[in-house]
Amino acid sequence: MAAPVFNTNTDSLPVNPDLQKERATASFNVLELTHILDGGAEITKRRKELEALILSDPAFSSKDLLYLTKSEQYENALLRSVKLVQWKDKYKWSQEDVAMAQQINNSTEAITLHTDMFIPALQRLTSEEQRAKWLPLALKHNIIGTYAQTELGHGTNLRNLETTATFDAKMDEFVLNTPKITSMKWWPGALGKSSTHAIVLAQLVIAGKHHGLQAFIIQLRSLEDHTPMPGITVGDIGPKLGLNYVDNGFLILKNVRIPRENMLMGNASVSRDGQFKQLKSDKTNYSTMMYVRVMITRWAFGCLAGSVMIAMRYSAVRRQLYIDPKAGEVQILDYQTQQYKLFPALASAFAIFFTSQKLISDYNRELQNLIKGDKELLAEYHSVTSAMKAVCSDIMTDHISALRRSLGGHGYMNLSGISTAMQNSLSLVTVEGENTVLYQQTARHLLKQVARAMSGGTLTRSVAFLGQNLDSVPQLDSSEDCRNVHLVLKLYQKMAKRILVQAGTLLQTDLMKGLPEHEAWNKNQVTLVRAAKAYSLLHLVQCNVEGVEGLRKSVSPELVAALRRLCCLFALYYLESNAGLFMQTEAVSPSQLDIVRSTQMELLSEIRPDAVALADAVDMPDSGHKSVLGCYDGNVYERMYAAALGEPMNKTQVHPSYYKHLRGMIKGTASKL
């Protein structure tokens, strides 16, 4: 066993002096910003109480997690899940407490889909009688559920899902089947080994007539010994790029019979004599999916903000090379190139935060109208949530990849924390809708709004800019103009409106030439996705500006100033990143881009004194981010060395394979091949 040569007891070491200096010179109170991110001082206090409970339990220790097999990772995650459920019951946790506990645990549990999708679906898609039967069982965890929608051959094309639910009028039952290999359910979390029940999306068939996609609750496993029920084949889909502690599964159904009452009948019903009745818009079946897309923006913030925190702390501690050859090695955070990797990522995290807050607020305010099937609201909210899920997850994954590279060679280690975050975050660009498809869905809605705007119709708030005259928006002629986020926002509106109108014109031209709609759409797909992305960036900038400006009267001027700098950097960074769109639409000229670039460089210097404090405000506990590079004390090298000593291969001085392979070659006694 390798013995420590250097001190590996980080508890005995002081906080790294470079980090101490960074925190001491911040222009604002970090705790004030933490309260904003948490939702208030009382919520921060409550989070700290839950952290003290959860992180003191050995089950939630991050030690040695990297060295577990897939099966061991799942078992550990399941243990954590059960512990949290037990504590929820013991301490009478609220729903907010449960959400915070999951956040503290960095969502490393096996059965989060039970609370994230199964329970919300029961709340939104059932009749009163069904809720009375199923919801108490789910809330008490007497049953564990998942949400089985995606199939092996179909993901985003829900209309063509192949699982069938055929009504047997004689037996008053539905018979469910996955008739082809492509129709088996594939990907649902907690399906592989954990869930006892599933809400299954299937095509309803009554007397040979199809009635569209409906939701059904199916018992998967015995409540006595957890073995699969008759007609059910279920298992884990195997190793993934990340999140291997979650048992994503497959499900095959062969003549599985369920009572008629197991169809979720909040939106549609089937009577005893086989009469189908649509009670609400069939689009309300997607309300759970929209809710998850909203939550994905929140998860994107947490993942990106945690990664920024790691990279920022490490960059303040790591000293490398020289700016002034006569001086000592400098913090790599002082290099402008490092700042240009980290600070736009930091600004993006806050933009995603403010956007997520607005989406959550809108969802909670409009939930009942969504459930009732308000068609206008459903179309609007589906478009917005599709766009924000896509753009937030795209931005997050791009920045986390750059953040990993910003750590140099050490970022390649799983112990950096960011490499693991990068792997896990990649799931968000495809889960609940692949992003390219979501942009197309958004584009389809937006083109309808463009037509409405051109005919003088009423526009909803998210597309109100389409009805504005934006031709005379002032230009960015100075650094002061670039710092005017309201002016920059107007330029985003001008760009997005013109891009959307141009995309609509191209599509309409092809239609007028006689091209069938589906061919015209396919011919213009890239243009339409580009237009949806332009709108998505506009919406992010707008939510960011409104979020920061909304704090002016409730927080200190110093904090508002710090957040305004980030808000401005975000808008200018993505303006330059999409310079082609802005120049194409004459929103910005090439010479004005030079002013945009120089203003960004000024902002990097201005953000630099507050950079660590802004990242610190995320306040993620060390055991939550699982990084030896991003701990609060900054004792990077001691933690890296201690982690290396924990590698299982170092438990012996000589690896057993030496005797099997190396020794013979070295001594010249190896048998000839």
Just list the catalytic residues: 432
Q: Which residues contact 120 (CB under 8 A, 6 or more apart)?
A: 288, 291
The answer to whether 585 touches 494, Cβ cutoff 8 Å, is yes
How many C-beta atoms lie closer than 10 Å to residue 30's C-beta?
Answer: 19
The answer to whether 612 touches 23, Cβ cutoff 8 Å, is yes
The answer to whether 117 touches 127, Cβ cutoff 8 Å, is no
| CA–centroid distance for 195 within its chain | 23
State how far the Cα of 65 lies from the Cα of 74, in Å rounded to an integer: 11
For 146, the enclosing helix (H) or strand (E) is strand 145-148
State how far the Cα of 164 lies from the Cα of 184, in Å rounded to an integer: 11
Question: Which tokens is 360 given?
Answer: 């959550």
Query: How do beta strands 145-148 and 276-278 pair?
Result: unpaired
121 closest CA partner among 200, 4, 196: 200
Q: Which residues contact 555 (CB under 8 A, 6 or more apart)?
A: 32, 36
Dihedral sign for Cα atoms in the order 251, 253, 257, 259: positive
How many C-beta atoms lie closer than 10 Å to residue 327's C-beta?
Answer: 8
For 399, the enclosing helix (H) or strand (E) is helix 375-406
Question: Which tokens is 221 given?
Answer: 């496993």
User: Is 150 annotated as ligand-binding?
Assistant: yes
- State the chain's maximal CA–CA distance in angstroms: 91
Q: DSSP per residue over 490-542, as a string? A: HHHHHHHHHHHHHHHHHHHHHHHTT--HHHHHHHTHHHHHHHHHHHHHHHHHH
User: Is 189 annotated as ligand-binding?
Assistant: yes
The answer to whether 73 touches 81, Cβ cutoff 8 Å, is no
Q: What is the dihedral of CA 61, 63, 65, 67, to 10 degrees?
A: -160
Please give the annotated binding residues, written as ranges: 150, 189
Please give the annotated binding residues for FAD, written as ranges: 150, 189
